[in-house]
Amino acid sequence: MAVVAILIVLSVTLVLLNWYKGRREAFRVLKKNGIVGPEPDFLTGNFRQLLGEKNVPRQGQWLKDFGDVHGYYLGTKPTVVIKDTELLKKIQIKDFQKFHARRTLREVGSIDAHSRYKNMLIFQEGNN
């Protein structure tokens, strides 16, 4: 009976350590790629900071604090914000094939499928 209890405790410990390591690695993606941004919360990334009516002022503050290209995390998913119009042109036109399957705002629940925004270029989804 004691052996079973030890194996259960050991298994749970290994699962938690593996989860912790994966989460820590997920929050290193932006820094590894040289993208600055706010420090993410271990459980929610920067999601809690973006909830509510403070979202737009927070985004504006991050633009001031981190510049025209910065990133944050929605959960463990990295999100990159680009305000630099020349870089946006390059991504949208020259390098579009590299970015065609990006996550859309519809996926995070901000844009309704029947809204007036559904036909805008930025909300279009590519084929994988």
* Cα 50–Cα 55–Cα 57 angle in degrees, nearest 5: 135
Higher pLDDT, 75 or 123: 75
Residue 60 pLDDT: 87
CA–CA gap between residue 6 and residue 9 (Å, rounded): 5
Residue 89 pLDDT: 83
pTM for this one? 0.68
Residue 128 pLDDT: 45
Express each pLDDT in 79-118 by its tens digit: 888 888 888 888 778 777 776 566 655 555 555 555 655 6
CA 6, 10, 16, 19 dihedral sign is: negative
pLDDT of residue 57 exceeding 50: yes
Which CA distances in Å does 36 have to 57, 90, 126? Answer: 18, 20, 27
